[in-house]
A and B are shown apart, each in its own frame.
Chain A
């Protein structure tokens, strides 16, 4: 465990001054700002919400939906490709695997860092949503989200998409670490996301397609929590398989 913590610390250090680190703020804020602008331009809705909480949740749902179906899978793609790229520029794997610590710690540390970065972005998304809502109260009073936001319900919504994205994180991390090509990792992630637009509309397949899972979870009202958790578990398993596959190879 101690070894893993050391590997994680080392990973965090490596991210200093990288685009990957900035993306943690940029990606969710782009979604928040876009959604905010859209509402601001359109003005108050024709049918006012039943309650302030409902107005808050309507805002959160709008932002989280845009996040879950478009930005999140693309952002995970870019983030994992950037983090993987750090080690591919000069074939750092050779050096990392020559160090006196188990190989799995290095892979696992990467995976944990990716997952943590996405979690951080999820928090940024949530905080950004609250901030956008508070500004809306003044600029578009007709939106109806007066008073204190329903923190927990909003955070829960954001965290669900995070849990449901573990499978994408596990897959994209493996691809970006396993192969040197930045283009391959980004290509797979982008295609996965685009194909997801179509697949997520299918009752039958949307539940099984990794890149559509955050969106499917958002849509499946009521039963989302158990959905998201099981996707998280599957993501964890895929992560372990990826780690095993990556570290058993001799020639890198």
Chain B
């Protein structure tokens, strides 16, 4: 089992006194893979130029990439990455994200990524699982996740109080503040239904837009961290 799995857990575990290439060599001996794989993984993470410098002089991003190279050394079918962009600067994050996205297509590895950076996940992952307090709350594609949650129709109207009354009577759930109304709705069809019911009642609608919930908002909703906010909205 283990020889089909490569892993990078938080910070990579590297020997600072050895060069990048030597670090790979140490693991290569243990994995019993051919020497040519070292150049292969160095090329994947684009570290060929710095491979012969001691790792203690590497930047955080380079260390992280070398860690990824180490994890790829045994040609794993499954790659487990835990917080791979932790502590990286924006350029490093971008590069790492780019790398991880290419891995499945170009190298046939399934990537299992865990992270608290939800915007990261949103940009990288095809399938998502949400775990809170040891419970798997959701598992599926990003689209499925977003379909599960209602979108919001954002409205700006001249007569907010009346609009609120009409919509509530029609059974919509509404969050509102002074300037705008946010109606929980699912599809563009529902958005036009809301619009026409308001217009029929003589309300002037100056703005209507559909707002997709970000993964972060979905996550917070699923894990119940905004329960108070929801209660307030009701």
A residues near B, CB below 8 A? 2-3, 6-7, 9-10, 13-14, 16-18, 86, 89-92, 94-96, 98-101, 106
**Chain B: CB-nearest residue to A99:** B30
B25: CB under 8 A from chain A? Answer: yes
Chain B 138-161 near chain A by CB (<8 Å), digits 1 or 0: 000000000000000000000000
B15 touches A7 (CB 8 A): no
B residues near A, CB below 8 A? 1-3, 5, 7, 9, 11-18, 22, 25-27, 29-32, 74
A99 touches B11 (CB 8 A): no
Q: List 14 A-B contacts (CB under 8 A).
A: A10-B27, A13-B18, A13-B22, A13-B26, A14-B18, A16-B17, A17-B17, A92-B15, A94-B9, A94-B13, A95-B13, A98-B5, A98-B9, A100-B2
A99 touches B15 (CB 8 A): no
In the assembled complex, which residues on chain B have CB atoms less than 8 Å from the CB atom of A18?
A: 17
Q: Report whether over half of chain A's contact residues are helix, strand or loop; otherwise say mixed.
A: helix
State in angstroms the CA–CA spacing of A189 and B35 once bound together: 40
B25 touches A99 (CB 8 A): no
In the assembled complex, which residues on chain A have CB atoms less than 8 Å from the CB atom of B32?
A: 2-3, 6
In the assembled complex, which residues on chain B have CB atoms less than 8 Å from the CB atom of A100?
A: 1-3, 5, 31, 74
In the assembled complex, which residues on chain B have CB atoms less than 8 Å from the CB atom of A86?
A: 15
How far is the CB of A58 from the nearest CB of chain B, in Å? 42
State in angstroms the CA–CA spacing of A101 and B30 once bound together: 7
How far is the CB of B41 from the nearest CB of chain A, in Å? 15
State in angstroms the CA–CA spacing of A89 and B23 once bound together: 15
A89 touches B16 (CB 8 A): yes
Shortest beta-carbon contacts, A-B, top 6: A100-B3, A100-B2, A10-B29, A95-B13, A92-B13, A90-B13
Among B2, B17, B25, the most chain A Cβ lie within 10 Å of the Cβ of B17
